[in-house]
A and B are shown apart, each in its own frame.
Chain A
Amino acid sequence: MDPVFLSRLQFAVATLFHFIFVPLTLGLSILVAIMETRYVRTGNSEYKKMTKFWGHMFLINFVVGVVTGITLEFQFGTNWARYSKYVGDIFGSILAIEATVAFFLESTFVAVWFFGWNKLKPGTHAICMWLVAIASNLSAFWIIAANAWMQHPVGYEIRGGRAELTDFLAVITQSYAITNYLHTIFAGYVVAGFFVMGVSAYHLLKKNEISFFTKSFRIALVFSLIFSISEVFMGDIIGKEVAKLQPEKLAAVESQWETQKGADFSLLLIPDEKHERNSVELFNIPNFLSFLAKGDWNAEIRGLKSWPPADRPPVTAVFASFRIMVGLGFLFILLTIIGWFKRNRLESSPIYLRIMLYSIPLPYIATLLGWIVTEVGRQPWIVYGVLKTVDASSPLAGSQVAVSLGAFIILYSGLGAIAIWLMARHAKHGPETV
């Protein structure tokens, strides 16, 4: 068995699993902090009940995110030794900064928050939740900045057979880092918003704790409405950046084979990688792809065929992931706008509530697909234009990686199943009286 392929698979399993839990942490920490702040401001115990109910869910989710994050950090060394050696000067330092600046803060204060209800003044206690929220969102920045450097390396020079840092600020302030960061945290906010709305919908359908869940739903609705719209705008900005900085990724995302001026956009398209064409292209919007990618109806879009086959990313997976992600992104806007009009009569909208309940997984799916577009779309490079994935692995035997991959799958399935079961159980049970 090919150790590089297995290592890629293992990294994909570990990252995607990690990123089931992270987005909820990013968004729910803020929602819980908002709820607790309202409790402190108004003294209304319903908000305290809310803080505890959603906070409980947050904690189960949080711990899985934490423990699966550690394996990611160490996997760069275990499975991608040549990568680590080549880029550690830049990439490693960003990860180390993440730990010292953000992760300590998050992990210390999440415990103070959980155990500290009776030890701290209400205001101080709420500040702890804000610190957790700020730290997790700060932590995401460093991770995304590191990833952005893999997509678009800047501020470095190749010296002595490795990439060495020459401009730290360029690395952390490049627009790819900022835009992808915002895109990622907004995705997390939509995940959390839909999660809270979905669980609330479950109880509203059962006419259970109507006031409590109507309030929860509305807080999450406003949050989701703002960020699902912002998310699509961010997506558009990133699309234009990809067109400029990673043209082969754009070509794969759109399954564009020929270099063309004024390229059309097909609403229905099925790529045929084997014959380097699309087997179906229907409902064309003339010149629209050029406009989307470059903001100019007649701009030239470079086609996949202009790169040798070995330098192209896999098209079907990237294309399909992207299309579904974008479709879901618009669906989230639609669902939250409908919610906005129904916000004052939620209990009498059972169909909408049922849709929202079953929509809980959708933002998760969109987020994971986004990572597939980003990471698979960068292939065959691990650091775009600098280092190929095949040259980045550790000198391991295939059997070694096969065993660890099996262990990852078994352990993570068990862990995920238990965490999701515990969260579902708590969600169904509803809030405790405080």
Chain B
Amino acid sequence: MLETIWFLLWGLIWGIYFMLDGFDFGLGILLPFIARSDKERRVIYNAMGPFWDGNEVWLITAGGVTFAAFPTTYAVMFSTLYTPLLMILFALIIRAASFEFRSKIAGLSWKSFWDACLFIGSLAPALLFGVAFANIFRGIPFDNNYVFQGNLLTLLNPYGLLGGVLFIALFLVHGSIWLAIKSDGNLQLKAKTAASSIWIFLLVVSVVFLGCTWFATPLYKNYLGNPILFILPLITVLALLATRLFIFQNSFWKAWTASSLTILTAVLFGIVGLFPNMYPSSIDSTLSLTAFNSSSSPLTLKIMLGVVLVMVPIVIAYQTWAYHLFSGKIDEAMLSSKESY
């Protein structure tokens, strides 16, 4: 029971991470295509400014609870995904640096350099996280010594890449909507156009992904065994449709909420389908790591459950306060202040 609760919490924390940092990734990827002037670029940076760091801590927490609650999964997952994981971390480093360093020097080439870093630092994690999760759904080729039988290209198989493209599309829509919330005038219009056109692409990718999932993974087994669970992907579909409707109505906060729900439930759809597996082996299914054979001792799970049940609501409360505090549009006054990116 404790293991099951932890499995769901684990999925939930990853879901919250992608829901929050997802709009940062989307905006970073969108930046070179949508911003035509330094002012527009700065609107995008400052739209993420007060949030990206707090969002990224959800990744640290996701990593931390994997370590704490499922140490064997943590050990095997992180060591077998060595190269892509380090690439993600390096990308996150240059992304953070571009936020903090870009505004410190006025030169044009300095700024373009950091714009390129932001782009790569957003695109690479979005793609690689998608690739990684899609591959986990399929199963990872690791043997009984927990050695990964393959290389980076093994992971870049069609289904894996499709997962990557799905993540990018989800985040692009999410980020465009966030920009529509935080900007006005021409930039807001561009953001809205981007959100609604990428949404169509997202819809196509989602349908293809769900179809391929049927053939490439055993993910639907849990749903067929327990049809009530189909409510989860149903919410995803409804939230995705609602996103489009709200964009059309210029209700960007509602659209962003719907898009958040889409990402959160899409991640949970995968996680619930995976259960009880956390890190299945495609070489021999008896080697697969599950919530039950890779978990910590009951005492640790109980203590950590207490910590998480107390602390996470507190974290959500003050992060919500921070989002509320900086919910306004990025205006001239903000951009001309020294306390901005």
Contacts and interface: CB of A to CB of B under 8 A. Distances in A.
Interface of A: 52, 59-60, 63-64, 66-71, 73-74, 76-79, 81-85, 87-93, 95-101, 103-105, 107-112, 114-120, 159, 162, 164-166, 168, 394-396, 400, 404, 407, 411, 415, 418-419, 422, 426, 432
Q: Report which residue of A68, A71, A85, A422 has the largest number of chain B beta carbons within 10 angstroms of its beta carbon.
A: A85
Given A84-B74, A92-B74, A107-B56, A404 B82 contact: yes
A177 to B, nearest CB: 16
A-B CB proximity, top 10 nearest: A88-B71, A77-B78, A92-B67, A96-B64, A394-B79, A96-B68, A81-B79, A81-B75, A84-B75, A93-B68
Q: Report which residue of A68, A84, A165 has the largest number of chain B beta carbons within 10 angstroms of its beta carbon.
A: A84
Given A67-B92, A88-B72, A89-B296, A112 B82 contact: no
Given A74-B78, A165-B299, A400-B83, A111 B68 contact: no
Interface string B288-324: 0000000011011001100110011001001100100
A395 B145 contact: yes
18 contacts: A52-B338, A63-B99, A69-B60, A73-B60, A74-B78, A74-B85, A76-B67, A88-B71, A92-B68, A93-B300, A93-B303, A96-B304, A111-B51, A111-B53, A115-B50, A118-B339, A422-B101, A432-B338
Contacts of B303: 93, 165, 168
Q: Report which residue of A76, A90, A104, A419 has the largest number of chain B beta carbons within 10 angstroms of its beta carbon.
A: A104
Nearest to B316: A104
Contacts of B61: 96, 99-100, 103-104
Contact of B308 (A100, A105, A400, A419): A100
Given A96-B61, A101-B311, A112-B50, A166 B299 contact: yes
Contacts, number: 225
Contacts of B53: 63, 66, 107-108, 110-111
B86 A404 contact: yes
Q: Report which residue of B49, B78, B319, B322 has the largest number of chain A beta carbons within 10 angstroms of its beta carbon.
A: B78
A101 B309 CA distance: 12
B218 interface: no
Q: Report which residue of A77, A95, A164 has the largest number of chain B beta carbons within 10 angstroms of its beta carbon.
A: A77
A64 B311 CA distance: 26
B83 A111 contact: no
B74 A78 contact: no
Contacts of B51: 111
A92 B64 contact: yes
Q: Report which residue of A69, A73, A81, A396 has the largest number of chain B beta carbons within 10 angstroms of its beta carbon.
A: A81
Contacts of B67: 73, 76-77, 84, 88, 91-93, 95-96
B104 to A, nearest CB: 5
A66 B96 CA distance: 9
A221 B195 CA distance: 55
Nearest to B338: A432
Contacts of B158: none
Given A74-B85, A89-B296, A115 B79 contact: no
Contacts of B326: 115-116, 119
Nearest to B88: A74
B57 interface: yes
Interface residues of B, number: 66
Contacts of A74: 63, 78, 85, 89
A411 B90 contact: yes
B204 interface: no
B97 interface: yes
A63 B63 contact: no
A118 B311 CA distance: 29
Contacts of B74: 76-77, 84, 88, 92
A418 B77 CA distance: 33
A83 B76 CA distance: 11
B100 A108 contact: no
Contact of A100 (B70, B86, B93, B311): B311
A96 B97 CA distance: 25
Given A67-B96, A108-B318, A422-B101, A99 B337 contact: no
Contacts of A90: 300
B200 interface: no
Nearest to A410: B90
B180 interface: no
B59 interface: yes
A388 to B, nearest CB: 17
B325 interface: yes
A81 B318 contact: no
A120 B307 CA distance: 30
B197 interface: no
Nearest to A434: B338
A422 B78 CA distance: 34
B90 A164 contact: no
B304 A70 contact: no
Nearest to B143: A395
Given A74-B63, A100-B64, A112 B146 contact: no
B340 interface: yes
A111 B50 contact: yes
Contacts of B83: 400, 404
Contacts of A84: 67, 71, 74-75, 78
Contacts of B50: 111-112, 114-116
B283 to A, nearest CB: 14
B54 interface: yes
Contacts of A93: 67-68, 296, 300, 303-304
Contact of B339 (A70, A89, A115): A115
A102 B272 CA distance: 30
